[in-house]
Structure 1
Amino acid sequence: TQVWVLPNPSGLNRATLDKLVAAYRELDDALATRGQ
């Protein structure tokens, strides 16, 4: 089992667009590697 915690785009500790893009790209790459 793997759990991904992605940055929050709103709120006090909101992530920048660059950090959101990087996090979702990393998730996409990991899923592509697993064949999903």
Structure 2
Amino acid sequence: IQHICWDGCMFPNAVLESPDTWNAILDVMLKVRAAHGWT
């Protein structure tokens, strides 16, 4: 797994390696994209 830094690594790697965390992040990103009309 490649570790990704979000705003200066505000999340520990253990959090980033959790599938539930990614599902939540992707859900938020999709909602933001829908709200802003991004494609």
Query: Normalising by the residue count of structure 2, what TM-score does the alignment of the two structures yield?
Result: 0.55
Report the identity percentage: 19
Matched, 1:27 2:10: no
User: Which residue number in structure 2 is paired with residue 13 of structure 1?
Assistant: 13
Gaps in structure 1 of 5+ consecutive residues: 1-9
RCO higher in 1 or 2 (8 Å CA, sep ≥ 6)? 1
Query: Normalising by the residue count of structure 1, what TM-score does the alignment of the two structures yield?
Result: 0.58
Q: After TM superposition, what 4+ stretches of structure 1 lie above 6 angstroms from structure 2?
A: none
How many residues align? The count is 27
Letter in structure 2 aligned against 1:29:
K
